[in-house]
Amino acid sequence: MSVQSQRSERGYALIEAMVGGAVLMVALGSVFSGMLAAREHVARSVVDQHMTQHLVYEAERVRSESINKEPWATVGNNKACFLKPATVPAAPGQLPEGVVCHIDVSSVTDTAVGGAAGPLTYKRAVITLTFSKLIESERTRTQSVTVIK
C-alpha cells in the first residue's frame, strides 16, 4: 500500500510543478507585454517633450520680434518658422526630420474690451508643429501654441 501512495504523491507533485510553471510563464508574459507598452508610452512622451521645447523656442522667437518685422508685419498663413527643416543628421537649431512648422498670423479686433478708447486690436500668431514617423506606431500629430502681440 505504501508504494501506491508514493506513486500518487509523485503524480500530484508533478502536476503542481507543471501548474506552477504555467503560472510563471503567464506572469513573465504579462511583465514583458507591460514593459513593451511602457516603452511605447515613454517614447511618445519623449517626442512630445521635444516638440514642446521646439514650440516654446519658436514662440519666444516670435514674441521677441518687433511688430514691424516678419512674421508680424503681414497677416497670412503658412509663414516660415525660425527653425528650419533638418539636414541629415539634424544640426542644433533645426527641426527633426519629419517635422513641419508654420506660423499663421491674423489680426483680431475685440469689441468686448477697450471701453472708452474703442475696440482693442491686436495680432495673433498660431505656431503649429506637425510631426509624423517619429515613433514607429504613431500617426501624424499636431501641437500648436498661440502668441498674442
Q: For residue range 93-138, what is the model confidence (pLDDT) as tens digits?
A: 677 777 788 888 888 888 777 666 777 888 888 888 887 766 665 6
Q: How many CB atoms lie within 10 A of CB 101?
A: 21
The whole model's pTM is what? Answer: 0.64
Distance in angstroms between the alpha carbons of the first and the last residue of the chain: 95
Q: Which residue has the higher pLDDT, 98 or 45?
A: 45
pLDDT at 12: 78
Among the ranges given (27-31, 56-60, 117-121), the one the predictor scored with the smallest mean pLDDT = 117-121
Arithmetic mean of pLDDT over the chain: 79
Confidence of residue 1 (pLDDT cuts 50, 70, 90): very low
Q: How far is CA 86 from CA 26, 48, 52, 92, in A?
A: 45, 18, 17, 9
